[in-house]
Structure 1
Amino acid sequence: MKHVQSERGTAPAHFVFFLMGSAGRQEQGIYSDQDHGIVFDGDDTTHQEYFLTLGAEIREGMAVVGYPRCEGKVMASHPRWCHGKTDWKHQIDQWVQEDTWGTLRHLLTFIDARALAGQEELLVDVKNYVFSHIEKNSDLLKRLSENISYLHQGVNAFGQLLPDEKGAFAGSIHIKDVGFFPYVHAMRLLAIKEGLHDSSTLRRIQKTADKYAFVENKEEHFQHLLQLRSDFSKKQQTYEDVHYIPVHELTKRQKQMLKSAVKEGKTLFQRTKKLIESGE
């Protein structure tokens, strides 16, 4: 921010820089790529160029200290993720109207946004606009649910863990795909349904457990997944292997905790989707 200010002057409007993805949910591993954006107070035609420059400076600075650039360009240096408040709302309207897999995925990504620096109320205002769309259009939440309908299987019918069989990570299980994502996807949908601004999966569980019985006791299992990934963090050297856990190195207790967490996550995911699809 200081570097851009020294070259281009003071920011022309109030703004908020926010994180998305695992950083937005406060669930990063020790290696993570970049997922971030900007909302500024003003319109794109007047101020967007300045904030895109700021986004590019942040992108390059984060790359220098070890955060790879997002291959999908989900970064504040891309016009899709850097708008004035009004233009953000126009883009959300466009995403909803287009109603494609890609535009709905953008919407789901944005819902995990968490303010890191600047005027948080700008982000709150745009999120509230998303929630207003849900209130007016009940089918939109069902469409978002369909967008994340696929679930990786981590345990077979006999209760055995299912690690990768081939490739560089044969014998390891991808804890993000089979463990984290069922919880993340389910709790994001419930957060949208309830209009919750919390982006953390744990906070979403805590705030909905009283209302939805099937959410109760899921916090403990999600915590176990976070702890398990942390236990193996010293063996992880790159962004590619940060979520792989070698099954043969798990203790008996760790295996049991992982199996239970995977099963509970699957149940949570299925119950949430059933609730959303019922329109209740």
Structure 2
Amino acid sequence: MSAIHPSELSFITRHAPFDSMELEHVMWMLERMQLAYYAQGEIIASPEQGEATRMWVIKQGLVMGEQSVAKASDNDTWLELMAGECFPLGALLARRRVASIYRAGSDTFCYELSAADFHILLGMSAPFRDFCTRRIANLLEHSKQVIQAEFSHSSAEQQSLASPLSAIVRRAPVTCAPETTVQAALEIMREQRIGSMVAADGQGRPLGILTLHDVLERVAIPQVDTGQPVINIMSTELSSLPPQALAHEAALLMARRGFRHVLVVEEQKLIGLVSEKDLFALQRVGLRQIGSTIRHADSPEVLQQAAADIRRMAHNMMAQGVAPEQLTQFISTFNDLLTARVVELECAAVCPAGDPLHENICWMALGSEGRLEQTLKTDQDNAIIFKVPAGLTADQVREKLLPLARKINETLDLCGFPLCKGEIMASNRKWCLSETEWQEVFTKWVDSGAPEALLHASIFFDFRALYGNESLAEHLRAWLTGYVRSNQRFLHQMAANALRNRPPLGVVRDFVVGKGNTLDLKTNGITPFVDAARIFSLASGVGKTNTVQRLRASAAALHVPPNEVEAWINAFLFIQLLRLRHHYEASALEGGAERLDNRLDPAQLNELDRRILKEAFRQARKVQAKLALDYQL
């Protein structure tokens, strides 16, 4: 055993996962480590050496990973490892050879631990084992803890929206038979001090609900006969979720439909009730109130105020540590509601009920809104699909709809959604098309689109129905999914386009930065995942538009191991988190809302977040390696 110098202990405990391990386990590891030197260009590990024999922890220098399938050019490398990083964890865990060539990028010193001692340490130290088996997820948890500490909120606030509904249900549900009289039901509500009553059948299946709000609207004001069965006045349009559903899903359901309660149902049996108060007493964000304001807005001015409320809500939730996947869904859902109300108000004047166009148009969201991935900085990407009524032509319908679309786009601009500089909006006649015309456009892109044209057209493949006759968009999606899947030339071109945008990892430095020493977190960080997920979903016939859902739904068809897909997803979500934090911090400054961008100076990040960002970019390269392998690029 070698003697341990204090500087060695100081160095090793500055880096994950060793910083969270028990001291005795770190000491045990250091006692068994040897220090080795590798000259610049020397191979440290390669597939030809057989099963991995040791774990390396870089003390000084640079290690580069080379894997030809992932290269965009001859001088591009697969990954770059810096001081404090360890490798090859995956090969050691699987007791296999490494998949890449690890080469010293400069004169490099590494601590080495034998494979046998590595596996003993896995059994000794839970933090070490967790890090090795869930590398990027573990790093993300470290970062989340730091973020939460910075915002200084209680753990109850942090966890509420991420908790399963089973953890939020406070008591067994109080129910009555549907034939119970209104009077008897009200007396039970008073005695039990509850704000709602659910009618259930003999098997415990919910049939209706009566809330205190209903009592005023349906009993007191109309002065109904309280001797009649309570089911007669109950709301029978019920919203329910299973107990394993998360609180944020219940919150979104309440916001979308304007309800104050969600039933928790398992195998058709009522097991609990979750109220708006349960979800948001701690959060202090009135999501249903914002949704209600939007749904009942009767002027652009009211909607402008609602848009400001959405941004404040997002700020609050960001400060409370709400996960990026959930937060972008909240932002997109409320932006959906607001956009739908703008469209509804403007359509009422142009296409009222009875007009042949009233039931034959659909407003579609594209881009980040189509993917339910909007942040605090977002412009408009939208389009219209319409059905041509009998006696009219597509051009006649379009001429009627274009002024309407322009008014909608302008109102959305007033609400804080800037007009698209590229004119990808429904008010552009190129994107206000009939069912047949949309199929012709997609057919042209798929069958004969030039690479540059496909690059600009990619966001159209993320379309999602937002308002109107949703079946028009659904039918277009079903047709497109089937049409694209068999066209390998198109998918090959899409993949080639995607690989033109490489994650900004450096060889000498951690990152390749652009103007002002900054990275573009959207173009170089998010886009590689979005592009790959889009291609994977099109190739595997998945009809979803959300990036995370696309990756998960495509994984099995593409034979990607679930843990690998989750690593991609965690990386994507971490970059989204950095974008949201960057927007949040910028908007907190005076005039910051007008200066929101996606450019971040990595030097301003703490050491942990820089390390995770590097790991996230490596995962982006792995996603692109999968694309390169699938399409031989």
Matches within 5 A, 1:84-95: 84-95=434-445
Q: 1:122 offset after TM fit, Å?
A: 1.3
Q: Does 1:212 pair with 2:567?
A: no
Q: Deviations over 1:58-81 (max 9, x none)?
A: 110111112221111110111221
Q: 1:7 offset after TM fit, Å?
A: 4.6
Number of aligned residues: 274
* SS across alignment from 2:631: helix
User: In structure 1, what is the equivalent of residue 505 of structure 2?
Assistant: 155
CA distance in 2, matches of 1:194, 1:131: 9
Q: Deviations over 1:195-249 (max 9, x none)?
A: 2221111111221234323534211111111111222222153576421122222
**Amino acid of the residue matched to residue 534 of structure 2?**
R
**Amino acid of the residue matched to residue 63 of structure 1?**
D
* SS across alignment from 1:74: coil
Q: 1:261 offset after TM fit, Å?
A: 0.5
Q: 1:39 aligns with which of 378, 382, 385?
A: 385
User: In structure 1, what is the equivalent of residue 613 of structure 2?
Assistant: 258
Mean Cα deviation higher: 175-184 or 84-93: 84-93
**Amino acid of the residue matched to residue 512 of structure 2?**
L
Q: Alpha carbons of 1:8 and 1:186: their partners in 2 closer, same or farther (altered >3 Å)? A: closer
User: In structure 2, what is the equivalent of residue 203 of structure 1?
Assistant: 549
Q: 1:150 offset after TM fit, Å?
A: 0.8
Q: Alpha carbons of 1:130 and 1:159: their partners in 2 closer, same or farther (altered >3 Å)? A: farther
Q: Does 1:235 pair with 2:235?
A: no
Q: Contact 2:365 / 2:466 at 8 angstroms: preserved in 1?
A: yes
CA distance in 2, matches of 1:33, 1:185: 19
Matches within 5 A, 1:113-128: 113-128=463-478
* SS across alignment from 1:32: coil
User: In structure 2, what is the equivalent of residue 3 of structure 1?
Assistant: 346
Q: Contact 1:229 / 1:243 at 8 angstroms: preserved in 2?
A: yes
Q: Does 1:187 pair with 2:537?
A: no
CA distance in 2, matches of 1:206, 1:54: 38
CA distance in 1, matches of 2:369, 2:594: 14
CA distance in 1, matches of 2:461, 2:350: 33
* SS across alignment from 1:269: helix
Q: 1:98 offset after TM fit, Å?
A: 4.0
CA distance in 1, matches of 2:469, 2:351: 21
Q: Contact 2:582 / 2:598 at 8 angstroms: preserved in 1?
A: no
Q: Contact 2:346 / 2:408 at 8 angstroms: preserved in 1?
A: no
Mean Cα deviation higher: 131-140 or 182-191: 131-140
* SS across alignment from 2:467: strand
Q: 1:254 offset after TM fit, Å?
A: 0.9
CA distance in 2, matches of 1:106, 1:161: 27
Q: Alpha carbons of 1:135 and 1:223: their partners in 2 closer, same or farther (altered >3 Å)? A: closer
Q: Contact 1:31 / 1:239 at 8 angstroms: preserved in 2?
A: no
User: In structure 1, what is the equivalent of residue 602 of structure 2?
Assistant: 247
* SS across alignment from 1:232: helix
CA distance in 1, matches of 2:540, 2:352: 41
Q: Contact 1:176 / 1:243 at 8 angstroms: preserved in 2?
A: yes
User: In structure 1, what is the equivalent of residue 26 of structure 2?
Assistant: none
**Amino acid of the residue matched to residue 203 of structure 1?**
Q
User: In structure 1, what is the equivalent of residue 123 of structure 2?
Assistant: none
**Amino acid of the residue matched to residue 62 of structure 1?**
L
Q: Contact 2:503 / 2:528 at 8 angstroms: preserved in 1?
A: no
**Amino acid of the residue matched to residue 598 of structure 2?**
H
Q: Alpha carbons of 1:129 and 1:273: their partners in 2 closer, same or farther (altered >3 Å)? A: farther
Q: Alpha carbons of 1:50 and 1:212: their partners in 2 closer, same or farther (altered >3 Å)? A: farther
| Structure with a larger share of its residues in strand | 2
**Amino acid of the residue matched to residue 506 of structure 2?**
N
Q: Deviations over 1:154-199 (max 9, x none)?
A: 21124612222x3xxx132211122111111111100111122211
* SS across alignment from 2:362: strand
Q: Alpha carbons of 1:84 and 1:264: their partners in 2 closer, same or farther (altered >3 Å)? A: same
CA distance in 2, matches of 1:185, 1:3: 34
CA distance in 1, matches of 2:594, 2:364: 21
Q: 1:147 offset after TM fit, Å?
A: 2.9
Q: Alpha carbons of 1:7 and 1:118: their partners in 2 closer, same or farther (altered >3 Å)? A: closer
State the identity as a percent. 23
Q: 1:106 offset after TM fit, Å?
A: 5.2
Q: Contact 1:209 / 1:216 at 8 angstroms: preserved in 2?
A: no
Q: Contact 1:27 / 1:200 at 8 angstroms: preserved in 2?
A: yes
* SS across alignment from 1:217: helix
Q: Deviations over 1:99-153 (max 9, x none)?
A: 2234423542211112222232211221222223324432221122223331244
Give RMSD over aligned pairs.
2.3
| Structure with a larger share of its residues in helix | 1
Q: 2:573 aligns with which of 223, 241, 245?
A: 223
Q: Alpha carbons of 1:240 and 1:128: their partners in 2 closer, same or farther (altered >3 Å)? A: farther
CA distance in 1, matches of 2:456, 2:482: 17
**Amino acid of the residue matched to residue 549 of structure 2?**
R
* SS across alignment from 1:39: strand
User: In structure 2, what is the equivalent of residue 273 of structure 1?
Assistant: 628
Q: 1:268 offset after TM fit, Å?
A: 0.5
Q: Contact 1:183 / 1:222 at 8 angstroms: preserved in 2?
A: yes
Q: Alpha carbons of 1:240 and 1:204: their partners in 2 closer, same or farther (altered >3 Å)? A: farther
Q: Does 1:28 pair with 2:374?
A: yes
- Structure 2: gaps (5+ residues): 1-343
Q: Contact 1:152 / 1:177 at 8 angstroms: preserved in 2?
A: no
Rg: which structure is higher? Answer: 2
Q: Contact 2:362 / 2:466 at 8 angstroms: preserved in 1?
A: yes
- Structure 1: gaps (5+ residues): none
User: In structure 2, what is the equivalent of residue 15 of structure 1?
Assistant: 361
User: In structure 2, what is the equivalent of residue 60 of structure 1?
Assistant: 410
